A and B are shown apart, each in its own frame.
Chain A
């Protein structure tokens, strides 16, 4: 029920956006996540963007994980 999937914004029109989820295109609402621009990734839940995906934080988490694993 609380599924969320990242998608890339490819078009914005007022409060709606077209997003690309692995080639699958979907119209979503930006009402809950208005400050986004084309090219950015958002987390999609039941037809709404509910948060921007932070690329920097994603990179940081992955770097951290890789370091932890290398340190074994």
Chain B
């Protein structure tokens, strides 16, 4: 019994390509009036401020606890749009597949994309599939691009942080990278550690509803909390102080980090956000965040300061201070 495999001809543009699209993609991604087989999608909406982003997904392994490359490809792009305050609307979806890839797995990935897009309320309106010869790519890569509309009165940017602002974090950090690492290394847990991979657009809109004056939102993906805070400090020309004891980290994530000598502050997340808001707004925002399933463990973790410009300072558990630098190098490649 031979398993169905992706062949080079599946990406040739000929009959097999057509079959693949007709059978696998179209049943899930028909969004009238969009005509998915046209060379490009026509976007009818004509609102003022458009957010547009793209990202490629190369995570290894393709399936991991709490998600898979398909779910990640939707969440990642939806979250990038959301961090700009945009309401994500349309996504493009593009595959690069290694010849020989099992069609059964491709099906699983596509249905995961479909399910996640539904949860996030986005439509996949255009796409592409290329197949490369064996060895020219590792199994399967995905690229998604996304478009969203930014509401009137909302302006989020890493340049907007001002001294006195509060810094909020939406929950446990490090789950995604640790879940991937654990899957790859065959680590076991008392309770399964799952990636936090999730679309943040609903949480973001609820936060913007209660506080349209939010200055900046970022999702701490590669490089983790420490790296993203450094970017904000540097782009806004401000200092940032955070308190180690306020940062939510799961016990098991701390356990492996201690054992392997990793710092959770640099681990990647795929369903968390950092929010910088004017001082005074943090109470209302925390209330909204904690009542949302993706923000239950939200915390006020620090503040923006006048001093230590372009630097992030961590107040340690025992009351000492240290500079938190950006991530330098990476021990574990291909986490997203």
Contacts and interface: CB of A to CB of B under 8 A. Distances in A.
B256 A21 contact: yes
A36 B190 CA distance: 21
Contacts of A30: none
8 A-B pairs with least C-beta separation: A22-B255, A23-B252, A24-B255, A25-B188, A21-B255, A22-B251, A23-B190, A5-B258
A1 to B, nearest CB: 9
Contact of B191 (A3, A23, A26): A23
B252 A24 contact: yes
Nearest to B259: A5
A21 B193 CA distance: 13
B259 A21 contact: yes
Interface of A: 3, 5, 20-26, 44
B151 interface: no
Q: Size band of the B side of the interface?
A: 10 to 19
Main secondary structure, interface of A, reads: strand
Contacts, number: 41
Interface of B: 187-191, 193, 250-252, 254-256, 258-259, 261
Contacts of B188: 24-26
Given A20-B190, A23-B191, A25-B188, A3 B259 contact: yes
Contacts of A26: 187-188, 259
Contact of A22 (B187, B252, B261): B252
A24 B257 CA distance: 10
Contacts of A5: 255, 258-259
B187 A24 contact: yes
Given A3-B261, A22-B255, A24-B256, 4 more contacts: A20-B190, A23-B191, A24-B252, A25-B188
A45 to B, nearest CB: 10
14 contacts: A3-B259, A3-B261, A5-B259, A20-B190, A23-B191, A23-B251, A23-B252, A24-B187, A24-B189, A24-B190, A24-B255, A25-B187, A25-B189, A25-B190
